[in-house]
Chains A and B, each alone.
Chain A
Amino acid sequence: MANLAASLQHHFADFKQQKESVVLGMWSFLVQEVMFFGGLFVTYVVYRSQYPDAFHEGAMQLSSVLGGFNTIVLICSSLTMAMAVHAASKGNRGAIAFWLVLTIVFGSIFLGVKVVEYKEKFDHGFIPGIADHGLRVNHETHQPRPTGFALYFGLYFAMTGLHAIHMLIGIPILAIIAINGLRGKYGPEYYTPVEMTGLYWHFVDIVWIFLFPLLYLIGAH
């Protein structure tokens, strides 16, 4: 069972103070993450306002079906993550591991779909940094792509790539927490690591909630 003396750091008066400090610390990190992604979002807003037609055409190259499917997958993973935290607060070892493994499965499905999408974009020659490729000319109609088309795909790969890196970091953390959970390290009196991992995972979900309409849906109508 949880070793209470070991979980309370000596510089905190009690568990309540430790918990409040940890939660605020984690949120400070997430606020920094908002700024981190914010730089990319403001770049997106600037260039979309400059090249609306190119962004429109860029978005039409993406599959809203795959994007929508991935959105639902991530929402499922957020639910299973919330359930894992709930299980930890009840000290239910098996349930912690079960819900976390399910979260990892959903996260992996998301990344798998992302690989399929990236592969398809590369096949069309939408590779930022490689000149005179599909970003300049439409290979089917031989018409030139509008100015800013390459910028759209640069931002697409930067934003979804940074998001995917966050998930790649999150999945091993989920695995570690799942193993610790199975070993009975968390219980009703101490499950902060599970909760903090949950905050990170939900944040990654929120980033995608904004990426989906901004990258996939702007050319839908």
Chain B
Amino acid sequence: MSAPASPAMHPAEPHAEPHHEEHHGPTVKMYFAIFFALAILTVVTVLAAMFDFAPMLGKEMGGFVNNLVALGIACTKAALVVLFFMHVKYENKLVGLAVVASVIWLAFLILITMSDYLTRTPAWADWKLFSR
């Protein structure tokens, strides 16, 4: 995979770090950046939860938007942790496949279960089911 750095390729660098930098992994700076992003998103999700969308969108649609924002932020935070703290961005594709598979199976679990529960009553299309 990694060709030994020949002097011809890097004539200006006299024998600089021959081995350890061959995989460009995460850096300390990046870890702190991810940490601050997670902290800011936590504050945003609290503020968004306190914000009432009902006057703008109606009670039910407003509640739905609140849920959508909360889960959207949670998924973003989880993705940041998985990709950078858990190094999935730097692992081989098989690990990524395992992660994606778990998310898909969880989605199946929820979607198929709810396709039952949400269609049991005549009010199956009622937004109330999603909004509170």
Known: A78-B85, A198-B85, A217-B45. A206 touches B28 (CB 8 A): no
Please tell me if the beta carbons of B113 and A205 are within 8 angstroms of each other in the complex: no
Please tell me if the beta carbons of A42 and B110 are within 8 angstroms of each other in the complex: yes
Please tell me if the beta carbons of B113 and A42 are within 8 angstroms of each other in the complex: yes
Determine if A30 is an interface residue (Cβ-Cβ < 8 Å): yes
Chain A interface, number of residues (Cβ within 8 angstroms) = 51
Which secondary structure dominates chain B's binding surface? Answer: helix
State A168–B113 Cα separation when bound (angstroms).
Answer: 31
Please tell me if the beta carbons of B70 and A213 are within 8 angstroms of each other in the complex: yes
Closest A residue, CB atoms, query B87: A195
State A86–B105 Cα separation when bound (angstroms).
Answer: 32
State A82–B28 Cα separation when bound (angstroms).
Answer: 9
Determine if A28 is an interface residue (Cβ-Cβ < 8 Å): yes
Please tell me if the beta carbons of A220 and B46 are within 8 angstroms of each other in the complex: yes
Please tell me if the beta carbons of A27 and B85 are within 8 angstroms of each other in the complex: no
State A93–B36 Cα separation when bound (angstroms).
Answer: 26
State A52–B132 Cα separation when bound (angstroms).
Answer: 5
Binding site for A on B (CB under 8 A): 20, 25-26, 28, 31-32, 34-35, 38-39, 42, 45-46, 49-54, 66-67, 70-71, 73-74, 77-78, 81-82, 84-87, 91-92, 94-95, 98-99, 101-103, 105-106, 109-110, 113-114, 117-118, 128-132
